């Protein structure tokens, strides 16, 4: 085992921390806006769609067990076309990092640091990411493992909402129809993004292939259930007329709670949430730096870290209005569904049809 390799358990926490991020705050609002009380069904449907992509990612990486997506693309598509797609995938992962920065700045600037210039908020996160991705995958995975128990604080705070919920708010079921539910599931899939970092981190994971699939699938299932818990809780806490006017219903719900020791529960939640956003950002920034390393034939990805972080910082400070961020979110969400959800399936088909496989590997 090399000093860079990670264990199955570390891969599990790495996927968990990559998937849980900015989307947790606005997902209930976006689901209810499109699917009404059937939003929780759209979320579960998204979990099933993601499992199909996970199967394709695992099977593709299983054919090239020691290669990342940036090594695999030239092998199955040819040198020149592979270079083009490596560039596209690098930009794709970089723009997800940028979107995380922009959405993070939007929430922190509105709820915590009202008067702080937005470029300062973004710079701190970008600088933190640049520092972390100079670490090895194993060191990053160890950090992700250590901070994962903090998620219990988030869930514990949300659990308190059950002192004032109304179960009838979740009804009727199936009101909007199947087409609206399927359409809404795309929003849920974007919020659940993070499983796609497996396209790189599987190359660093030791152990048998089947165990890797079980680990990623279980991690995705856990995140889907966590999001399901949050979505259903907000649905039965707010009445249908309230939830459509609060873009971050989780924070508004927590703001209503106050204790003798803690007056602003929403600020406690945000303090822990920032760590989850940081881990998600670090994962995507690391993957993007691996892309830059491949494109420019660098010896180590650490050399690309400051440049990719600076690039993300400069782009992320461009949008000033919420409307611009929502527009970015819309377009990057579409490309995310394409390159993270659908493309792995087509890449696997190309590899199978062209019988491309790393030497010395056998079908599992």
DSSP states along 79-145 = HHHHHHHHHHHHHHHHHHHHHHHHHHHHHHHHHT-SSS-HHHHHHHHHHHHHHHTTS-HHHHHHHHH
Mean pLDDT in order along the chain per 10 residues (364 residues): 80 94 84 89 92 94 92 93 95 94 91 91 96 93 94 91 88 84 82 90 91 94 94 91 86 86 86 93 96 93 93 90 78 85 92 82 56
- Is the pTM above the cut of 0.95? no
CA 138 centroid distance within chain: 19
Residue 146 tokens, joined? 């250590």
How much is the pLDDT for 23?
A: 80
State the pLDDT at residue 89. 95
DSSP 3-state percent helix, strand, coil across the chain (nearest 5) = 80, 0, 20
pLDDT at site 363? 54
- Are residues 345 and 353 in contact, defined by beta-carbon separation less than 8 angstroms? no
CA distance linking residue 218 with residue 106, whole number of Å: 31
Asked if 226 and 20 count as a contact pair (C-beta separation under 8 A), the reply is yes
- Supply 11's token pair: 């891969």
Tokens coding 222: 């856990």
In this prediction, residue 48 carries a pLDDT of 92
């Amino acid at each position: 085992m090399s000093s860079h390799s990670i264990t199955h358990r570390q891969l599990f926490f790495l996927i968990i921390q990559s998937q849980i991020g900015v989307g947790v705050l606005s997902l209930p609002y976006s689901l209810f806006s499109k699917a009404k009380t059937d939003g929780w069904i759209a979320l579960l449907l998204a979990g099933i769609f993601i499992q199909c992509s996970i199967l394709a990612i695992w099977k593709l990486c299983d054919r090239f067990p020691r290669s990342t997506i940036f090594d695999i693309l030239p092998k199955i598509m040819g040198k020149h076309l592979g270079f083009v797609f490596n560039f596209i995938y690098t930009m794709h992962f970089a723009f997800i990092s940028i979107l995380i920065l922009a959405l993070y700045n939007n929430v922190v600037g509105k709820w915590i640091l009202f008067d702080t210039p937005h470029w300062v908020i973004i710079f701190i996160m970008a600088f933190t990411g640049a520092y972390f991705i100079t670490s090895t995958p194993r060191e990053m995975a160890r950090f992700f493992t250590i901070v994962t128990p903090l998620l219990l604080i988030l869930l514990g705070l949300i659990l308190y909402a059950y002192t004032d919920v109304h179960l009838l708010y979740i009804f009727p079921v199936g009101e909007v129809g199947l087409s609206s539910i399927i359409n809404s599931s795309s929003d849920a899939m974007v919020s659940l993004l993070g499983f796609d970092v497996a396209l790189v981190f599987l190359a660093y994971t030791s152990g048998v292939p089947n165990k890797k699939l079980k680990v990623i699938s279980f991690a995705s299932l856990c995140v889907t259930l966590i999001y399901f818990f949050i979505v259903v809780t907000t649905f039965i806490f707010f009445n249908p007329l309230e939830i459509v006017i609060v873009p971050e219903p989780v924070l508004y719900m927590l703001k209503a709670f106050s204790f003798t020791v803690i007056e602003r529960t929403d600020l406690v939640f945000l303090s822990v949430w920032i760590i989850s956003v940081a881990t998600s950002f670090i994962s995507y920034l690391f993957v993007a730096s691996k892309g830059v390393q491949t494109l420019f034939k660098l010896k180590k990805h650490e050399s690309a870290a400051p440049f990719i972080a600076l690039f993300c910082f400069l782009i992320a400070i461009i949008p000033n209005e919420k409307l611009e961020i929502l527009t970015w979110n819309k377009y990057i969400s579409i490309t995310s569904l394409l390159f993270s959800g659908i493309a792995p399936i087509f890449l696997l088909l190309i590899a199978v049809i062209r019988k491309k496989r790393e030497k010395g590997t056998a079908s599992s």
